[in-house]
Structure 1
């Protein structure tokens, strides 16, 4: 049914005015009048629900909020309000049910924080709700909030034990332990389950803090405890497959698991890590094509259809799932299908990701070995060993260790093919099989016994024979010459050293330093760019990143270097740093007056942020930068669309709401301005900032004279605070605007409102009203 819009708007205005004065009964009366015109208006229903709740009429408020839920199926607010009412009435079951419904709607909006807030509230109401605790566990794991994820998994384990599902409880406790290998609570829980002892009852969710991740491996390598049993339980038998498990966990997390039925869990006997959960994934997430493709690809892979899975992963990547985890998984699939060139291309994208780098380098070594490229195989396997070895030493030793691996890599070309082949075979065997972590630990212990003092020897020393120290000696001579100020002689020494260490990048960096120190800045930066690109091509992503960072300190407006840096940071899953660089790049483009390029850069940043589920503040920052560009270009319509996106993410943000109102007014969209203005004013009242209403309305009315929405709201505000003369003046101005626009019926209603206020010159208003009603 379509009612009269003018009556609806007037009733809503009067209802809001009464709400501002906390006259809830009057507000209810006006909101009901508004609903008589448009019964399915969500804003009117929620406003009425609030007014009823404030007067203690909870049953009626509940009925109204339920109507709002049925009319506005994508709005989580009514469901949250229903939950609050049910909770206040002591109906915990319904309160939880509506909290979960609200959380699901927030999931669809990709508002993770609000979804977690509602799930946590449900779990506090009923700590034994296994569906909610499971979803919290998966979500925290996805967000890398390991402590909270482990806590939730242990709560699930306790619930499963109470339900006599001991085997599944053990599996769930193992998940907690995989996230927190050194956690005493997780180990105690697993031991208690195996010994038949009862676990503590599930406790409520607590504050913040997958497969074998590199940080887990560090804990294992540096712990004196025995991890043999733990390692035997792992499903992956070497770093390549462990990384694939981690990649699948990352990709599965992107789909934001939304099955809340615990019985859909892994009940087939395959309870191993992520693959036990992949069967739960639905292949439609929020209607987005890229997530449909990703879900289908994962499903095909878990079913063993590798060739079709590879095709779907390729389509998912092309459609926007351009994440190192997707490339890694596709790379391994192509490797198994013997498409080595394609596999190499995708695995190279993953060599910079901290959780996938070790597996990617090992897989690239095996591919190079299969193709007969022994030098590349040796280089990749040394990178893999470097990464594995770095897990076994303290942080303050890692720089020294990396330097030694640089020396080894620089001299690989000196070995004949037979020596290199032995090196590859020995190292691949060393890193293969389920005991690879134990081998690393034992080798490190052996080397530490041999090495005195604080120096550290690389595990590669056990596998490389006949390595030359000429490069090291040359570097010592170069450093001595530089300390004496003999830059020219140092450069000569470096050039000579290149003959027997042409691939030793530290030597090239020394040359770049000499160029910079002697004032040849441009050539020095060009040299650093070559070094960075060499690192990048060789898959040494961390070194490439450091070099590009150094270039940007020397030349902040170097666009090519910043674009390379962004790509590398994204590949390493350093998303926050990448987003920071995106924003900086957009600012540089704006300084160069390349506005289209700036906007395109920010659009790419937004896509990366959405793909990686970053903190909402990053999304808001990027969207605000986009809106700022649009406003600067006077593209107000586009800016309004951007601010509407921000408002969906953070509905209570004052700055955003003010911008939405302002842009609607600029565009002459009074209906949109009215809706946004009412929402903003209602928020000011509900947050006890009602004193700000009047100054803000006065400011807008001065800035945008002649806007009916502003004059009417300002008149209502003046009336609410008892400023009768000012209210009449605003109504008078409103009436004139309506008459100029030919809106006679609206003007008559405005004059009647003035007469109700008993103005000093009532006769003139009565005369005008008589003339208008008679059509004169």
Structure 2
């Protein structure tokens, strides 16, 4: 008996409304009412399954998805969702089977991307699944993702060797090399196989360990505290909280699947001026070591975790989060020298700076270095204090702390002991945030009506800062009046009681520049920026370097330092802008090798910082242009292949690939690229451009069989019979000259099929050709 359609529609509408408001239990009630009218309606079943899934009712959700799959046997979505639930329930075999079924359905729908997602998931669950790895290799190859395909063929080879099928393993490696010629990893695999040695095990699909590692990190952080992660973070002191943040960042890095790596991507940003010309290991090694390191750390194997983190960093990982986490591991095992080195490497990251400064202060205090301990602890206190004030008050607060740093850290031993002891006590333990909040509230009560903001540091160790601040006001007033000499005199007097106050030194540089002594002023700014950098004050150092570059854009050391600082602060877009400007400067100086290396660094940086494909495409195009200008056609070919993989709609890359393959004599590959591009143009509704492309290519590369054959077919399809005959005629001549009589016969037959006016002459030619076979 059919149900009532009006009740069904109303129940579905109410269910969707509840789901939209995230009222999942109510939506479940309405979807069940809808199903009471039409029990096998796939939309209702899928909606109910989703609501059950959101409320954690996995078994019931699975039943609903399975029922939906039976109602619509060609729909892959309920099968795919069933696979997700099986995996969450720990039923891996069933999850894999459902993934295989779903992938097959997507292939029937001609949705290769979704099929690839499912095969990749299978490979993550079962890295030795030969069927999934083989399908990935073949599909990546057809999609033009050469690097991915080559890596999958290597995994296929590893599985085949393990199964005793050495000959087939060799074929897989050779296929990998054919797709990605000269790859060092594939060459090494072939060497190992020929020597009878065991191949490395199949790798995880790139980026595939991220969800697992993120779950491990969250579980680890939960175990470290007693409550949920968010609550627990509030109970830790800044050192421990920053480690949780660092681990989360590192686990997140595993989500950033590396793009096609080639030998183009080599040096770290610091290598640009250091003279280092070696190349980093492939980024796949970084991901492998990082995943293993996180796994070891979360299982409590500190010494082994240190080794794996070190290997990841030796392979090119240079993120402040890695430095901070490794530093705390070294601190845990008592290696304070290495801990200090890596803590300094993490100072530039805004989320880690407070914890890094606090930890450095603790280490300095432990070894009895009170001035250094005071400097780092005041920096940590400054960052903590900044959390308690409005954004507009930050500049005033920073100026107070800079004055304190300049006037207090050189004080007598008793004064330094007071600063260190009070700051450590204030920022340590689970109550530090409460103390911070209460201190700010108390200062605001006392300072009502007086204006300005008072640093919490003054509660911990009252310093003689008024004298410096008054001098700064007088200097600014004299500068506004244009009295540069008087302003300089005031600044030099202030140096007597605040010799390390960098804001004062910057005022002196400003005075020098304003009075015409620009070289001296910018030299002083360089020293100030370097001092900020050494102190770990990355934002301030970057600001000063930017001012230097406004005056001297070709100051290469300043620009390189600026790029490093921007990377440390995760300011990816700004770092890439500066890096591209550096490459342009090298080009203007005719330093083409350095320009290209800088672009390769920029490409690697854009991928590590996940800035999106836009940056990668922009950089790759500039690399390709350099290669073309130097007639390095094979290198340009690899670059444009990467562009095509990232953006199949990039017309310049597609045309360049056809052109370059023809120029280096790879006509078969050129034909594949041409067919792929023609298919793309037709599918995109740009069929008219396809004919224009063929005509253009035939003019630029006369005598190429692939071009004449396809242009003839295109003319034939467009009804331009005379033009088609001319192309078939030219094609036949080329084939005869090459001794390809059978191919020439087919070309002449194609002309005859078009019934040209002089068809008898072509019949005669055809007869002669067949007799002379």
TM-score (norm 2): 0.69
Distance 1:417 1:469, change over 3 A: same
Aligned to 1:438: 434
Match of 2:105 among 74, 82, 85: 82
Distance 1:623 1:545, change over 3 A: same
How much does 1:606 deviate?
2.2
How much does 1:686 deviate?
1.2
Distance 1:539 1:253, change over 3 A: same
How much does 1:311 deviate?
2.4
Separation in structure 2 between the aligned mates of residue 531 and residue 657 of structure 1, nearest angstrom: 49
Separation in structure 2 between the aligned mates of residue 709 and residue 583 of structure 1, nearest angstrom: 39
Aligned to 2:118: 100
Q: Does the alignment pair 1:626 with 2:623? A: yes
Distance 1:703 1:561, change over 3 A: same
Separation in structure 2 between the aligned mates of residue 480 and residue 502 of structure 1, nearest angstrom: 21
Aligned to 1:424: 420
8 Å contact kept, 1:247–1:326: yes
Separation in structure 1 between the aligned mates of residue 101 and residue 600 of structure 2, nearest angstrom: 32
Structure 1: tracts of 5 or more residues without a match? 1-57, 60-75, 89-93, 112-134, 143-152, 154-167, 179-210, 213-227, 259-285
The 10-residue stretch of structure 1 (668-677 or 535-544) with the greater mean CA deviation from structure 2: 668-677
Separation in structure 1 between the aligned mates of residue 417 and residue 230 of structure 2, nearest angstrom: 30
8 Å contact kept, 2:735–2:741: yes
Distance 1:533 1:611, change over 3 A: same
How much does 1:105 deviate?
8.4
SS of equivalent to 2:644: helix
1:358-388 deviations in Å (ceiling 9; x for gaps)? 1111111111111111111111111111111
Separation in structure 2 between the aligned mates of residue 255 and residue 607 of structure 1, nearest angstrom: 15
8 Å contact kept, 2:407–2:463: no
Aligned to 1:241: 240
1:25-72 deviations in Å (ceiling 9; x for gaps)? xxxxxxxxxxxxxxxxxxxxxxxxxxxxxxxxx99xxxxxxxxxxxxx
How much does 1:230 deviate?
8.4
Aligned to 2:447: 451
Match of 1:383 among 379, 384, 392: 379
8 Å contact kept, 1:83–1:98: no
8 Å contact kept, 2:102–2:115: no
Aligned to 1:744: 741
SS of equivalent to 2:388: coil
8 Å contact kept, 2:210–2:251: no
Separation in structure 1 between the aligned mates of residue 536 and residue 454 of structure 2, nearest angstrom: 23
SS of equivalent to 1:519: coil
Aligned to 2:249: 250
1:555-611 deviations in Å (ceiling 9; x for gaps)? 111110111011111111222221222111111111111111111112222222333
Separation in structure 1 between the aligned mates of residue 113 and residue 603 of structure 2, nearest angstrom: 35
Aligned to 2:157: none
Separation in structure 2 between the aligned mates of residue 359 and residue 287 of structure 1, nearest angstrom: 28
Aligned to 1:604: 601
Aligned to 1:343: 339
Separation in structure 1 between the aligned mates of residue 705 and residue 439 of structure 2, nearest angstrom: 80
Aligned to 1:636: 633
1:107-138 deviations in Å (ceiling 9; x for gaps)? 999x9xxxxxxxxxxxxxxxxxxxxxxx9997
Structure 1 residue runs of 4+, over 6 Å off?
76-81, 94-98, 102-109, 135-142, 228-231
Match of 1:539 among 512, 536, 541: 536
8 Å contact kept, 1:698–1:714: yes
How much does 1:619 deviate?
2.0
SS of equivalent to 1:350: coil
How much does 1:245 deviate?
0.8
Separation in structure 2 between the aligned mates of residue 770 and residue 460 of structure 1, nearest angstrom: 102
How much does 1:84 deviate?
7.2
Separation in structure 1 between the aligned mates of residue 510 and residue 686 of structure 2, nearest angstrom: 59
How much does 1:86 deviate?
6.7
1:313-349 deviations in Å (ceiling 9; x for gaps)? 1121011111111111111112222222221111111
How much does 1:658 deviate?
1.9
8 Å contact kept, 1:321–1:611: no
8 Å contact kept, 2:100–2:119: no
SS of equivalent to 2:409: helix
8 Å contact kept, 1:586–1:602: yes
Match of 1:504 among 476, 501, 506: 501
1:119-170 deviations in Å (ceiling 9; x for gaps)? xxxxxxxxxxxxxxxx99977998xxxxxxxxxx9xxxxxxxxxxxxxx9xx
Aligned to 1:768: 765
Distance 1:86 1:731, change over 3 A: closer
Match of 2:551 among 550, 554, 561: 554
How much does 1:743 deviate?
2.0
Higher RCO, Cα 8 Å, sep 6+:
1
Distance 1:690 1:77, change over 3 A: farther
8 Å contact kept, 1:508–1:531: yes
Aligned to 1:645: 642
8 Å contact kept, 2:418–2:461: no
Aligned to 1:475: 472
Separation in structure 1 between the aligned mates of residue 338 and residue 639 of structure 2, nearest angstrom: 39
Aligned to 1:331: 327
Distance 1:631 1:433, change over 3 A: same
Separation in structure 2 between the aligned mates of residue 718 and residue 348 of structure 1, nearest angstrom: 67
The 10-residue stretch of structure 1 (349-358 or 408-417) with the greater mean CA deviation from structure 2: 408-417
Separation in structure 2 between the aligned mates of residue 239 and residue 569 of structure 1, nearest angstrom: 23
How much does 1:612 deviate?
3.1
Match of 1:755 among 745, 752, 757: 752
What is the count of residue pairs matched by the alignment?
A: 574
Aligned to 2:312: 316
Match of 2:491 among 490, 494, 503: 494
Q: Does the alignment pair 1:307 with 2:306? A: no
8 Å contact kept, 1:79–1:101: no
The 10-residue stretch of structure 1 (379-388 or 472-481) with the greater mean CA deviation from structure 2: 472-481
Separation in structure 2 between the aligned mates of residue 80 and residue 650 of structure 1, nearest angstrom: 24
How much does 1:435 deviate?
2.1
Q: Does the alignment pair 1:405 with 2:404? A: no
Distance 1:719 1:636, change over 3 A: same
Separation in structure 1 between the aligned mates of residue 668 and residue 114 of structure 2, nearest angstrom: 37
The 10-residue stretch of structure 1 (294-303 or 519-528) with the greater mean CA deviation from structure 2: 294-303
How much does 1:742 deviate?
2.3
Distance 1:395 1:80, change over 3 A: farther
8 Å contact kept, 1:236–1:245: no
Distance 1:683 1:628, change over 3 A: same
Distance 1:84 1:750, change over 3 A: closer
SS of equivalent to 1:288: helix
Match of 1:355 among 347, 351, 356: 351
Aligned to 2:204: none
Q: Does the alignment pair 1:392 with 2:374? A: no
1:617-639 deviations in Å (ceiling 9; x for gaps)? 22222222211211111111101
1:9-48 equivalence runs, <5 A? none
1:676-709 deviations in Å (ceiling 9; x for gaps)? 1111111111111112111121112112211211
The alignment's C-alpha RMSD in Å is 3.7
Q: Does the alignment pair 1:616 with 2:579? A: no
8 Å contact kept, 1:557–1:588: yes
Structure 2: tracts of 5 or more residues without a match? 1-73, 76-98, 126-135, 141-206, 258-281
8 Å contact kept, 1:80–1:102: no
TM-score (norm 1): 0.68
Separation in structure 1 between the aligned mates of residue 103 and residue 715 of structure 2, nearest angstrom: 33
Q: Does the alignment pair 1:689 with 2:707? A: no
1:711-759 deviations in Å (ceiling 9; x for gaps)? 1111111100100001111111111222222222211111111111111
Aligned to 1:291: 287
Separation in structure 1 between the aligned mates of residue 752 and residue 492 of structure 2, nearest angstrom: 96
Aligned to 1:670: 667
How much does 1:102 deviate?
6.2
1:393-451 deviations in Å (ceiling 9; x for gaps)? 12111111111111111112342112111111211221112222222222222222222
Distance 1:104 1:674, change over 3 A: farther
Match of 1:704 among 701, 720, 726: 701
SS of equivalent to 1:420: helix
